[in-house]
Each structure stands twice: as C-alpha cells, then as structure tokens.
Amino acid sequence: MIQIKEVVIHRLTMPLQIRFETSFGVQTDRDLILIELLASDGTIGWGECVAAYRPYYNEETTDSAQAVLCNELIPLVFSRNFEHPSEFFPASAQVRGNRMAKFSIEGALWDIYAQQNKLSLSAAIGGKKLAVDVGVSIGIMPIEELLSEVENYKSQGYRRIKIKIKPGWDIEPVRIIREHFPNMPLMGDANCSYEKEDFETLRKLDKYELMMIEQPLAEHAWVDCAALQAQLNTPICLDESIHSLEDFDLAMHLKACRIVNVKLGRIGGIQAALELTKKARSANIALWSGGMLETGIGRAFNVALATLDGFTLPGDTAGSSRYWKPDIIDPEVVVENGQVKVPSTPGLGYAANRSKIELYQTIQKHFRKGKSDD
C-alpha cells in the first residue's frame, strides 16, 4: 500500500550539450520538473515531467504542468492511498489531458512500488530484457556536420540513426547519408511538418529504404495519414498523434501507421503504456521507446519501458553524456555497443543525486499532506 505524505516539486533549468533543431524549433536547454514523492513507510520515489517550456511539441508546458500538479494532481495523490500505481491514471480521469503532468506522479508511484516489492522498475512492469537496443535522434544541421555526427554515433555503436526532416530538408540529407552509409538503419522524424501537397516528396523517400517515417503529418490528420501510408512502402510511425488507447484504435482502424513511438508522458504513464503494448502486440504493431530529452530520471523510465515484449525496435534513449554535463543520476546512463544495460536494483536503478539537482534547480516547492504548500 502506498500512502504519500510529502511531495516536492523540483524545477530545473538544464543546458543541453547539443543544439537540437526540429521542424518546430531549436532547443538549447530544458526547463523541467522533477517530482519527489515521500511515502509513509519512508520510501522515496522520483518522476519526471517531460513537458517543455514552449508548447510546440504538444499543448502542455512546464508552467501548465506545474499549475496542474499544484492545483489538482498533488491534492489527488494526498487524498487517498494506492494499492498499486495502476490506480493513479484512472483516479485522475476528471483532469482532462495533461498526461505529462500525470505521468510525473504516476512514474514516481511506480518507483515506490518497485522499491517496496524489491523489484527493478523493469521487473515491476513485466519487462524481461537484460539490455535494450538504442538509437539516436539527431537534429537539423548543415549536411557536413550531420554526416560527421552520423559517423560519430555509428562508431559508438548506436543501433539506428534518426534524423529530423521537414519540407525542404528531406530528400537531400537522406540521399547523402545513404550514399555514405548504404546499410545503416536510418529513419526520418518530421514532427508533423508535412501536408497533403507534400505526398509526392514523401513517396520519393521510399527508395532510400528508411526504417520508418515518424509523424509526417499533423497530430489530428488521421484520414490523410491513412491515405499516405497506403501510398508508401516505408512504414509510418506515429508519435504526436497517439495520446491514448482510443487514438491507437483509430490508427489501427484506419491503417494509419505500422509502428508507434511510445512516450510515457504523451500517453499518461506506465499503466497506459502497458495497455497500449498489449493492444499493439495483438495488432502486430512494432513499438519503440521514444525520448523527450529527459534527465536521467526520465531516461530510467524509458529504459525500463523498452524491456517489455513488443518493444522490438531501438529506442531514442541515448547516453546521459550526450545531453547533460553532469546528469543528475548515479550512475549515468551509458550506451555500450548500442545497448543500455538494464539495472537490476530495486526501483529506477539510478539514484537521484541531490547536489547535482541543486546545480540546476530554480524553484523548489514542498507539499505536506494536510497542510498548504510552503
């Protein structure tokens, strides 16, 4: 049984070690929230809210998530006990959307649950792999730099390379990368940037044998996406479109994709991911664990997610040092030969390092059950 008696919001600003440009903009740092839950038995659980400062990937922002946490989700977590973390997402149904905010609490409940039961997070959610295959997501940059980045990550053993594409930055980089790396598993992520008028361009990508094209069209462009998939040999992978099991059902019904990038924050947490995984397996849809430029805390969840059966493709979980100097966990996430070893210690398997968190912390808010915040 989990009874939460204290919650701490840690808000951090962390400079990124990479310049990350996508079709929706450039990111050079992260403004994020870490959630710390203290249970009545003394167990501490950590979660991460993957919302960004700007609502460019989805509607949530760090500020909106903080408001929803303070006004809704923290009072909710104090209002009852939880036999199991799977109870949290249904209990929060009255709060519409705001799935990234919800996952930051739900994830921390899973961390507590795993520790209480002396299970690694991976084991607690039913994962089996001892190591997970990872790829890397490379932003938009001049072609010479892109080629040397691809070479760099390939030599580090990453199992596939994802590049960001957008109208006007698609055939050219894909063609040139293919020339240099004819057999490398390669994919493009458009982050919603194409429209119906661009189908011909996207069809031209077929001959470069990409593993998939991720989220070519707008989040809600379901009908167009199904039409596009019918015209392409290359599988479409959906990211931004999939928020819920209902979205997944719609994608299946319309045959809008063959692959789904699962992000815990985008779908509302681990319980939602477990249910989606079950559906995907029976629908024969391949899954992989996506990334949102997480700190080590969020990264630990992404590693555990990838250990589930059904996660058959390399994820976006690059090593800590690619993003942060230093990361806020011990040990950092390390990629060796394109794999991350799955921790076997109870809980996340990576310890939050408070002095490193303090290096980046801009706001700390403390909540105690039965008291107003201070």
Per CB under 6 A, 57 contacts ligand OSB: yes
- Alpha-carbon distance of 16 to 323, in angstroms, equals 5
The CB-of-177 to ligand OSB minimum distance in angstroms stands at: 16
Per CB under 6 A, 293 contacts ligand OSB: yes
Q: Which is nearer to Mg ion, 163 or 335 (CB)?
A: 163
Subset of residues 325 to 354 that bind ligand OSB, contact rule: CB under 6 A: none
Are 121 and 344 within 8 A, CB to CB?
no
Per CB under 6 A, 46 contacts ligand OSB: no
From the list ligand OSB, Mg ion, none, which binds 137 (C-beta under 5 to 8 Å, kind-based)?
ligand OSB
Q: Token pair of 59, please? A: 């509607």
Q: For residue 137, give the nearest of 211, 80, 195 by alpha carbon.
A: 211
Q: Token pair of 42, please? A: 């003394």
Angle between helices 245-254 and 222-231 (to 10 degrees): 40
The residue from 47, 265, 268, 290 that contacts ligand OSB (CB under 6 A) is 290
- Alpha-carbon distance of 45 to 159, in angstroms, equals 31
The residue from 48, 189, 198, 332 that contacts ligand OSB (CB under 6 A) is 189
Task: Kindly name the residue from 164, 204, 325, 356 that is annotated as catalytic.
Answer: 164
Per CB under 6 A, 318 contacts ligand OSB: yes
The DSSP call for residue 71 is I
Q: Which is nearer to ligand OSB, 219 or 239 (CB)?
A: 239
Per CB under 6 A, 62 contacts ligand OSB: no
Q: For residue 50, give the nearest of 317, 365, 332, 336 by alpha carbon.
A: 317
The residue from 48, 60, 170, 189 that contacts Mg ion (CB under 5 A) is 189
User: Given the rule CB under 5 A, which of 7-15, 78-86, 169-177, 231-239 is the region that contacts Mg ion?
Assistant: 231-239
The CB-of-23 to Mg ion minimum distance in angstroms stands at: 10
The residue from 43, 137, 277, 320 that contacts ligand OSB (CB under 6 A) is 137
The CB-of-94 to ligand OSB minimum distance in angstroms stands at: 28
Task: Kindly name the residue from 154, 162, 263, 356 that is annotated as catalytic.
Answer: 263
Task: Transcribe 139-207 into DSSP letters.
Answer: ----HHHHHHHHHHHHHTT-S-EEEE-BTTBSHHHHHHHHHH-TTS-EEEE-TT---GGGHHHHHHGGG
The CB-of-302 to ligand OSB minimum distance in angstroms stands at: 8
Catalytic-residue membership of 164: yes
Task: Transcribe 241-283 into DSSP letters.
Answer: T--SHHHHHHHHHHT--SEEEE-HHHHTSHHHHHHHHHHHHHH
Q: For residue 269, give the nearest of 115, 49, 79, 57 by alpha carbon.
A: 49
Footprint of ligand OSB (CB under 6 A): 57, 137, 189, 191, 239, 290-293, 316, 318
Which of the residues are catalytic? 164, 263
